[in-house]
Structure 1
Amino acid sequence: MVSNLSNSQSSSSQADTTSQTNQAHAHSHRRPAPEATLAILGAGAWGKALATIARHKNHQVRLWSRSSEESLEEVLADIDMLVSAIPMKGVATTAAKIQEIGLPDYVTIITATKGLDPETTRTPSQIWEADFPNHPIVVLSGPNLSKEIEQELPAATVVSSTDMAAAYEVQTVFSSSLFRVYTSPDPLGTELGGTLKNVIAIAVGVCDGLKLGTNAKSALITRALTEILRVGTHLGGQTETFFGLSGLGDMLATCSSVLSRNYRVGYGLAQGKKLEQILEELQSTAEGVNTANVLVKIANREQIPIPICRQVYRLLNHKITPQEAVEALMERDLKAEFCDLF
């Protein structure tokens, strides 16, 4: 089994051709009907939003959580697609449970979780791929605020996979007049864009909470995009992906709306609240908190400069105040704008 993100990239690149062939072969066994049966794991805001989208297309949806009356085995029976919208902390254990239950090879696995595993530093898709190597794995990510989707406001997203046939099928299943779906062959970049921006949203929440103004916020978001590009491309994502919906698009949505849980974490910290109090008030997961800790571990290992994310990490771990974080960023050495992009 793959132990970390960098090792996963190495083994993935070596097995690209074999993996794609196996996935395409497995996927050809059965195609989802116009009205497919989907098991959506995770009955939080994001899982319910995805259920709303699928039901809008008249698909049969089975929404499952640990508190559901139906067993996981019952929910998975005779499905066409499995959608994982569970928090990062539950991905590995849930994948392991499903592996024990068994899943036909024709079932496409769609991961919509944005985070990094604290133990292995792997992304959700890498966890699913390790446990289900013969299944098509598709990443779904974009500027998708759950409450707006549940209100049936228009939105767009990206579905990304090394198995493009699977990506096209997921595109067809979820696309509607309310939800425009694009495809991409870069699942890792798509996943990292949606994951890393959560840390930046905390930083922007701090900026707004301290009332630093539009100039400061614009500079912060722009420099943060450079940081995400540096990390994402180093880890194997494609540059253009981070300028798309799952990168810049998702960052703009998450950094500009009070609907964003990660933004609210930063805003609360700037107001002097304790992190524990903020998370209790949210009553849901803010993945940027865990991601900041894992990202620093990766950056230290890979020697990647992450000045903004590192200050967020220090703030979340009670090492500095919001004001000290801003001062640390403003006092950095002077340099050319793009000298440290890659």
Structure 2
Amino acid sequence: MAGRMPSVAVLGGGSWGTTVASLAARNTDTVLWARDPATVADINDNHRNSRYLNDLPLTEALRATAELAEAVGKADVIVLGVPSQHSRSVLEQVAEHVRPWVPVVSLVKGLEQGTRKRMTEIVNEILPGHPAGVLAGPNIAREVVQGYAAAATIAMPEQQQASMLQDLFRTTRFRVYTTTDVIGVEYAGSLKNVFAIAVGIGDGLEAGDNTRAMVITRALRELTRLGVALGGQADTFAGLSGMGDLIATCTSPLSRNRTVGVGLAQGKSLDQIAQEMNQVAEGVKTVATVMKLAAERGIDMPIAREMDAVINHGQPVEDTYRGLLRKAPGHEVHGEEW
């Protein structure tokens, strides 16, 4: 790859996969794989992804294909942007076409159901020898496509790998920082979705700004404690992929997981909300996995527990904040109480 920028194949034609592909296409040869032929045609003919990004223009150099082998066969870098529940099957199809040692960068902010594995763990399992990392941060896709200033962190097992890959996605308005804490960045991106649903419920119930700030702050404490227990570095959770992503996901009207919470507070069912959004909110599937991970490590997560009760056990949303406020607070930093 010396002497030229590595070529990129982005797998997934959703809002964020398309956005990252559009960013990369500014810097290097980039192809996006999407299942939907209509999405492929829209990107190639109109330089739009109307299904997910309305009429926002994409980088004209971006190409799209519905053929997976065509997308990955000559790629120097693979970017995984499909929902977590489909990632394993897509990677299994990629395995027979991708060249050896090609890095894989995940955009997926979720954990695999059943195995509870992070996406990079699945990459290592299916594509051994391929360096696996993650790109994450406070990134609302539509705002990035529109050119608003934003930033993300790319985490790879080796710093040299992260430094090489950051230039693929960096633009004058999209800053990309580096780290080697793959575990921390990946868990931060997955865990924050659960708490965005909690904030959405509060907003839907008109609980107020003070309550929102309280829940976000204590949510950061919860996800940091679990993330560190799972092998992440504490500083990571105070950075872009932790606090930054948590704030954006909990407060933006464009956040899918916050939208789920607002919808639940309005009396809508999860199926109805999913149909209206036409996109996947990873936090809905992640919450049960989070509770299992927390139980195994003896981590008390009251906010996540309330979300599990609402989503998986039929608890009325009106009882969510009552349950939280019944707990007596302890020391803000050192106490285990909420």
TM-score, normalised with respect to structure 2: 0.88
The one of 87, 91, 95 equivalent to 2:91 is: 95
Q: In 2, distance between residues paired with 1:283 and 1:240?
A: 35
Q: Deviations over 1:34-70 (max 9, x none)?
A: 3x3211000010111101111222x222111223564
* Residue pairs, 1:316-331, within 5 angstroms: 316-331=311-326
How far off its partner does 1:318 sit? 4.4
Q: In 2, distance between residues paired with 1:340 and 1:233?
A: 16
Q: Residue in 2 aligned with 1:78?
A: 74
1:293 aligns with 2:288: yes
Matched-pair contact (CA < 8 Å) for 1:226–1:341: no
Q: In 1, distance between residues paired with 2:2 and 2:236?
A: 28
1:61 aligns with 2:57: no
1:49 aligns with 2:44: no
Q: Which amino acid aligns with 2:315?
A: I
1:306 aligns with 2:275: no
Q: Residue in 2 aligned with 1:146?
A: 141
Which consecutive aligned stretches of 4+ in structure 1 deviate over 6 angstroms post-superposition?
none
Q: In 2, distance between residues paired with 1:131 and 1:274?
A: 36
In the alignment, structure 2 segments of 5+ residues that lack a partner are: 38-64
The one of 326, 329, 335 equivalent to 2:330 is: 335
* Residue pairs, 1:1-20, within 5 angstroms: none
Query: CA 1:326–1:32 in 2, change beyond 3 Å: closer, same or farther?
Result: farther
How far off its partner does 1:103 sit? 2.3
* Residue pairs, 1:127-276, within 5 angstroms: 127-276=122-271
Q: Deviations over 1:139-183 (max 9, x none)?
A: 100001111111121110000111222111111111110210000
Secondary structure of 1:317's counterpart equals helix
Tell me how many residue pairs correspond in the alignment: 310
Q: Residue in 2 aligned with 1:40?
A: 10
How far off its partner does 1:214 sit? 1.1
Q: Deviations over 1:239-284 (max 9, x none)?
A: 0000000000000111111100000000111111111111110100
Query: CA 1:32–1:172 in 2, change beyond 3 Å: closer, same or farther?
Result: farther
Q: In 2, distance between residues paired with 1:186 and 1:259?
A: 28
How far off its partner does 1:32 sit? 7.4
TM-score, normalised with respect to structure 1: 0.87
Q: Which amino acid aligns with 2:307?
A: V
Q: Which amino acid aligns with 1:67?
A: D
* RMSD of Structure 2 on Structure 1 (CA): 1.5
How far off its partner does 1:301 sit? 2.6
Matched-pair contact (CA < 8 Å) for 2:135–2:152: yes
How far off its partner does 1:298 sit? 1.6
Query: CA 1:32–1:311 in 2, change beyond 3 Å: closer, same or farther?
Result: farther
Matched-pair contact (CA < 8 Å) for 1:32–1:80: no
Matched-pair contact (CA < 8 Å) for 1:198–1:254: yes
Q: In 2, distance between residues paired with 1:223 and 1:112?
A: 25
Secondary structure of 2:113's counterpart equals coil
- Identity value in percent: 37
Matched-pair contact (CA < 8 Å) for 1:229–1:341: no
Q: In 2, distance between residues paired with 1:102 and 1:163?
A: 25
Query: CA 1:326–1:97 in 2, change beyond 3 Å: closer, same or farther?
Result: same
Secondary structure of 2:109's counterpart equals coil
How far off its partner does 1:290 sit? 0.6
Matched-pair contact (CA < 8 Å) for 1:51–1:63: yes
